[in-house]
Amino acid sequence: MRIIPFAISTVITAGLVFALNKPWGAIPPMGKFLSPQHGVWQNAEAADKNYSTSLKFDNLKGKAEVYFDERLVPHVFAEYDEDLYFIQGYLHAKFRLFQMDLQTKAAAGRASEIAGSKAIQYDRRQRRLGMVFAAENALHEIEKDPQAKALFSAYTNGINAYIASLKESELPVEYKLLNFKPEKWSNLRTALLLKMMANMLAGDTETDLANTNAKSVFAPDEFAALYPQVPDSLMPIVPKGTAFDKPGITPIKPVSADSVYFSAKQEVAMQNFVEEDAADGSNNWVVAGSKTKTGVPILCNDPHLELTLPSIWYEMQLKTPTSNVYGVSLPGSPFIIIGFNDSIAWGVTNSQRDVKDYYNIRFKDKSKQEYWFNEKWEKTRLEIDTIKVKGAGDVYDTIAYTVFGPVMYDESFADTLTKSKLNLAVRWTAHDPSNEGMAIYQLNHAKNYDDYALAIKGFNCPGQNFVFASKTGDIAIWQQGKFPARWNGQGLYIMPGSDSSYMWQGFIPQPENPHAKNPERGFLESANQRPADASYPYFIPGSYITARGITIENKLSAMNGITPEDMMQLQNNYFNTTAEDVLPILFKNVNEANLSKKEKEYLDIVKSWDLLATAESEGQTVYTFWWGSLRKIIWDHLTRDAGNLKNKIPAMGAQALLEILKRDSSFMYKGTTAQDSLSGNNPVTLALKEATQKIDEALAKAGGKGLAWKKFNKPGVYHLLDKSKKDLLPFDRPNLDVGGAGDIVNAISGSHGPSWRMIVQMSAQTEAYGLYPGGQSGNPGSKYYDNMIDYWVQGKYYKLWFMQDADRTSSNIKWTMSFSKK
Amino acid sequence: MKFLTATLLTLLLAFVSGLYLPWWGIAIVALLVAAIVHQKAGKAFLSGFLGLFLLWGGLAFWIDMKNDHILSQKIAAILPLGGNSILLILVTALVGGLVAGFAALSGSFLRASAK
């Protein structure tokens, strides 16, 4: 009788299979995961993998060839536009499916489906901000335009063709680790990805809530001095002295503004305001032929973003008989975002303009069905959202839409603690119908300045500085976007939402957006600074960054006979312009007699510093701590009476403080009272003492010797899933041997920095260089996952191969994918 | 001879099942092989275990070599196996071996009980 042993062993086998087929917490289903024919081993790409293949699809109109070079950059040669973008979608999905799927789900407030209940608040925030609402409005614009619809749909079909062909064993490793499956693509998801960029770039340029608190702490003149609109040292994007047209629209300040808006004190019980290092951004510049060695323009761009693996960028060339474009694309969107074609080159930096305002809404009752507007109760549109949560039940959220936009904050959303019970509706230009994708498409096909200027007109949000160069020798820059025409002070604080008088009265006419073409000085640059000086006739608040623009402008002014190599050096420049201004103030005021031996030692390091924020620089380290401590000491004094609002107001910017101190160094004592234990030191001396202590504490923790800046700046590139920067370390590249800082041209700061460096010389035969800190494959099991990081760290470049028809037999081609109609 | 036949048959058929069936196809294969090529329980287990230990271990080893150990080192650091590729290959082989071993045990008992 063997039935009992049979039963026992069968139960054990079934139990084993069951246990190995399901995830246990964060542990993936081990049987499925480890099976060499199904699981993670299938992602271990052979180092000599052959990417060549021949593919047939119903959707294609004609034939196309994809030539891969040695860095796995695809050069797509198609007969038709639709086929080109079908293939772009296919390649994005083939090499970057996970990031596209994850990012668009997160943009739509669906992160909880993957990450579980810890992402619920994040998802609610995305939904309450109206991300899906914004994407649906954009989708509507795409569908109205037959050409746009055809191109976006071709792209979507390409992604879905790949997803449909995907066997379980071929799923990217992240799906296997997290045990989920990719979702079909749609044009809405493309729209969501572009709104994600809008949110990333335009979302944090506003400090309305924190400013509202600051208004309760500071008198209007103090507020204006602490948060100045136009920095003294500003080198604007539009060269100084440029005359501006008389404004086409003059917004009128509401009569009640002085009493109910400017001077009304209102406490916003927001979470602590985290002071961002407002020095992250991007650089672009262009030099005219008059300043270059070869006599043709050179265009440069390095957008600074969160550096991730896989990278946000995917490099490619897109060619049809009528166009030929090279550059970087965003997986999840068709077209080339930054790059060049046969005739022109372009690049972007963020405008940093504030295009998002908040309005205080009074609901009739808790049902949120009606709100008070223009002397009567208006109906809201109520949207009930269902958030699916992995491993838990659904969560519901009710979002009320008003004439301004969705009510983002209310009692039920914990970002505003219930104490103030404010209902805040958000007005954001990203909600307005527009089709940024098609603006980029037209830019890809532009042949000259006029085409470029026309193409970018359709680009509304996020506002960008589009720098331009053409083979005919033109250089130009436009700050392009849809920007509200504000009366002076409008939108700095939360505005009353009880009537229409505080609404935006219109937009700055597009031709009045700051721009410049072929200036006499022979160069143009943008680095997130205020676009124009005080003579620009509009009120344009934003979170501008001044320092990098000064460095770039100083360097370019002094340069002549410029070569691409010079431009490489400038993109990798480490000069600290802010420190150059700060140090004289520190040296002048520090009381050396009061310093300990160690403090004196640190002072000497800064004194002998070459002002370069290199990886090994010790001066950059001491300076950063010293200046940081001084800023904090002064700020503590200034906000001594702010009480519980202290952490809920925007900290004063470094640039603003520096400029005040340059004018009058006694400002450092402002707000100091007898109670302050400066212990006989002035703030500068005290700051050095505090800095010394902080450095030594940090060193003790890090367990090392030496003050090398990289130890404190911690440059690194982390996998998208590794939000903690430690959970998925094997997929990361931490502790890179590189310098930089947010206010340095080479703006590497932690995991933030130049996400794509590009230099294009507009010679008869375009000469271009570039790279991004990552690799073309999103697969951690591929040697192309992070292969460009080392060159990026060293400040080296790859020569970009701008393939022409004649190159189809070149030995640079390593693999060929052929696409044709089924 | 039977032992070798059963082991190799399990290995071969498990490979074929991997091409068409989910990973747990190996359990079905091991059970069927053990039921058809009948051996005593202990030997049947060992055949099944060894068949899959060799198949999964061998495949993993081959893939890993071709991959220059890029992924195995990362996965072995996440799991956590100290970033040791060989350890990851052994764990892989062990998982496959155990499932197939117990399934083969069932197959052996099934044949015995059918008699």
Judged against a pLDDT cut of 80, whether residue A188 lies above it is answered with: yes
Residue A584 within a domain: yes
Contact: B23, A12; criterion CB under 8 Å = no
Q: Is the dihedral of CA B44, B48, B49, B55 positive or negative?
A: positive
**CB atoms near residue A374 (< 10 Å):** 10
B27 and A13 within 8 Å at the Cβ level: the answer is yes
The whole-number pLDDT of residue A1 equals 46
Residues of A in contact with B85 (CB under 8 A): none
Average pLDDT for chain A: 93
Number of C-beta neighbours around residue A639 at 10 A: 20
Q: Label residue A117 by pLDDT band (50, 70, 90).
A: very high
Residue A680 is assigned to a structural domain of this protein: yes
pLDDT band, very low/low/confident/very high, at A204 (cuts 50, 70, 90): low
Rama region for B62: left / alpha / beta (φ>0; ψ in -120 to 50; rest): alpha
- Coil vs helix vs strand at A156: helix
Token digits of residue A688? 């050095």
| Closest chain A residue to B74, measured at CA | A730
The region of weakest confidence among A57-66, A146-155, A636-645 is A636-645
Res. A225: pLDDT tops 50: yes
Mean pLDDT of A236-264: 93
Residues in chain A: 822
The tens digit of pLDDT for each residue in B91-110 reads 999 999 999 999 999 999 98
Q: Would the CB atoms of A20 and B95 count as touching at under 8 Å?
A: yes
Residue A423, token pair as written in the block? 């209902």
Give the span between the Cα atoms of A740 and A162, in whole angstroms: 40
Q: What is the DSSP letter of A729?
A: G
Q: How far apart are CA A57 and CA A79, in angstroms?
A: 15
Tell me the pLDDT tens digit for each residue of A427-460: 999 999 999 999 999 999 999 999 999 999 999 9
Helix/strand/coil for A583 = helix
Three-state DSSP state, A416: strand
Point out the residue among B59, B72, B73 whose CB comes nearest to the CB of A37: B59
CB A134 within 8 A of CB A430: yes
What's the confidence (pLDDT) of residue A416? 46
Note the pLDDT of residue A203: 58
Work out the percent of chain A whose per-residue pLDDT is above 90: 85
Cα B16 to chain centroid, rounded: 13
- Mean of the pLDDT values across residues A676-685? 80
Decide if B18 and A38 are in contact by the 8 Å CB cutoff: yes
Compute the distance between CA of residue A771 and CA of residue A763 in angstroms, rounded to an integer. 20
Quick one: closest CA in B to A787, which residue? B70
Distance from CA of A9 to the nearest CA of B (A): 5
Q: Pick the closest to residue A159 from A348, A347, A388, A334 (CA basis).
A: A334
Assign A475 to helix, strand or coil: strand
The answer to whether residue A24 sits within a structural domain is yes
Nearest to B75 among A5, A36, A40 (CB): A40
Q: How far is CA B14 from the centre of its chain?
A: 8
- Whether residue A228 has a cis bond before it, omega within 30° of 0: no
Question: Can you give the pLDDT at residue A417?
Answer: 41
Note whether B39 and B6 are within 8 A (CB). Answer: yes
Give residue ranges of A with CB < 8 Å to any B CB: 1-3, 5-6, 9-10, 12-13, 16-17, 20-21, 30-32, 34-48, 168, 173, 177, 728-731, 780-783, 785
Tokens for A225? 């001095």
CB contact under 8 A, B41 and A5: yes
Predicted confidence band at B111 (pLDDT cuts at 50, 70, 90)? confident
Which residue of B73, B99, B109 is in closest CB contact with A20? B99
For chain B, what percentages of helix, strand and coil (3-state, to nearest 5) are there? 85, 0, 15
Residues of A in contact with B66 (CB under 8 A): 44, 46-48
The 10s digit of each residue's pLDDT in B33-89 is 999 998 999 999 999 999 999 999 999 999 999 999 999 999 999 988 999 999 999
* A305: helix, strand or coil: strand
CB contact under 8 A, B71 and A10: no
How does pLDDT run across A305-352, given as a tens digit for each residue? 999 999 999 999 999 999 999 999 999 999 999 999 999 999 999 999
pLDDT at A418 over 50: no
Tokens of A152: 């976006």
Give the best-scoring range by mean pLDDT among A202-211, A634-643, A759-768.
Answer: A759-768
Contact A2 B109 (CB under 8 A): yes
- For A784, the token pair is 């192309």
Question: Does residue A676 lie in a domain region?
Answer: yes
CA distance A260 to A810: 70
What are the pLDDT digits (tens) for A771-813? 999 999 999 999 999 999 999 999 999 999 999 999 999 999 9
* Residue of B102, B108, B110 to mutate, testing the A interface (most A Cβ within 10 Å of its Cβ): B102
Q: Give the pLDDT mean for A146-152.
A: 97
Sheet with strand A344-350: strands edge to edge: A53-57, A815-821, A64-68, A74-78, A314-320, A323-329, A338-341, A344-350, A464-470, A475-480, A515-517
Q: The whole model's pTM is what?
A: 0.95
Asked which of A682, A707, A732 is the last residue of a domain, the reply is A707
The whole-number pLDDT of residue A207 equals: 85
Task: Label residue A642 left, alpha or beta by phi (over 0 means left) and psi (-120 to 50 means alpha).
Answer: alpha
Residue A377 CA to residue A370 CA, distance in Å, equals: 6
Which ipTM did the prediction report?
A: 0.96
- Quick check: is A491 in a domain? no
Which residue does chain B place closest to A1, by CA atoms?
A: B113
Helix (H, G, I), strand (E, B) or coil at A192: helix
- Separation CA B4–CA A101 (nearest Å): 47
| Residue A393 pLDDT greater than 60, yes or no | yes
- CB < 8 Å to B26, chain A: 35
- Which residues does chain B have within 8 Å of residue A40's beta carbon, measured at their own beta carbons? 71, 75
Asked whether the predicted pLDDT for residue A415 surpasses 80, the reply is no
A192 inside domain: no
CATH of the domain at A657: 1.10.1400
Angstrom distance (rounded) from CA A579 to CA A624: 9
Residue A723 pLDDT level (bands cut at 50, 70, 90): confident
Q: Are A507 and A487 in contact (CB under 8 A)?
A: no
Contact A9 B106 (CB under 8 A): yes
Q: Please write the tens of the pLDDT for every residue from A577-588.
A: 999 999 999 999
Whether residue B114 is predicted with pLDDT greater than 90 in this model: the reply is no
Distance from CA of B44 to the nearest CA of A (A): 12
Q: How many domains does chain A have?
A: 2
- Domain boundaries along the sequence of chain B: 2-114
The per-residue pLDDT for A426 is 95
Question: Looking at residue A421, what is its pLDDT?
Answer: 72
Tell whether A7 is covered by a domain: yes
- A-B Cβ pairs (cutoff 8 Å, strict): 127
Q: Inter-chain contact B74–A730, Cβ cutoff 8 Å?
A: yes
Contact across the interface for B66 and A47, Cβ inside 8 Å: yes
Tens of pLDDT, residue by residue over A500-517, are 999 999 999 999 999 999
CB A478 within 8 A of CB A465: yes
Question: 3-class SS at A401?
Answer: strand
Q: Identify the domain containing residue A703 by its residue range.
A: 578-707
Looking at the domain assignment, is residue A790 inside a domain? no
> Which pLDDT belongs to residue A273?
57
